């Protein structure tokens, strides 16, 4: 049984996480795909191709991606290389304190380039990426022409 995990499952957006896939056949080619919908409903996704090791596992922190949105060893590549489905969109988090981005991680068999609706992932999981830590206070700043926000730690 194929399993994909992200540790920790809930983290700050600048905190590294570990992605692991287990239960594959040795040397099996797979596609790891990450996707999310932003606050306007726009879809952003990335993908990377990997060959499982002799134990049937994939660890993007140790193994080089063979292609896709990036190649080489990038432990956080699936998060860093998220691209919009619609050109000229940017991934921006407006409500930084109220909710996280929910990033879906999927393992697909073989080299998958499309987003076919009938293509079923072998395994999937979800990662929460928060932009403000617990207890952080947001103070609006309005001084003359300056506008912004001050984030104070607990």
Cα-based distances in Å from 152 to 2, 40, 73, 132? 42, 28, 35, 10
Distance CA 28, CA 50 (A): 8
Class of CATH domain 3-152: mainly beta
pLDDT on residue 117: 63
Which tokens go with 73? Answer: 């060893």
pLDDT on residue 118: 72
Distance CA 114, CA 106 (A): 13
pLDDT on residue 116: 65
Spatial CB neighbours of 126, under 8 Å, sequence gap ≥ 6: 6, 9, 102, 103, 104, 105
pLDDT on residue 97: 86
Q: Is the pTM of this model over 0.75?
A: yes
Domain extents for the chain? 3-152
Per-residue pLDDT of the chain (154 residues; tens, 9 = 90+): 999 999 999 999 999 999 999 999 999 999 999 999 999 999 999 999 999 999 999 999 999 999 999 999 999 999 999 999 999 999 999 888 889 999 999 999 999 987 666 788 999 999 999 999 999 999 999 999 999 999 999 9
């Amino acid at each position: 049984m194929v399993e994909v995990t992200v540790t920790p499952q809930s983290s700050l957006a600048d905190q590294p996480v570990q992605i692991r896939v287990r239960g594959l056949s040795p040397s099996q080619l797979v596609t790891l795909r990450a996707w999310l919908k932003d606050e306007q409903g726009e879809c952003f996704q990335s993908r990377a191709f990997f060959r499982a090791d002799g134990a049937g596992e994939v660890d993007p922190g140790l193994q080089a991606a063979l292609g896709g949105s990036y190649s080489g060893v990038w432990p956080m590549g699936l998060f860093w290389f998220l691209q919009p489905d619609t050109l000229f969109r940017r991934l921006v988090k407006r409500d930084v304190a109220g909710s996280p981005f929910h990033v879906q991680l999927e393992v697909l068999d073989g080299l998958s380039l499309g987003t076919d609706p009938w293509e079923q992932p072998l395994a999937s999981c979800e990662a929460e990426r928060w932009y403000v830590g617990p207890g952080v206070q947001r103070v609006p700043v309005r001084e003359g022409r300056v506008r912004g926000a001050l984030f104070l730690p607990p």
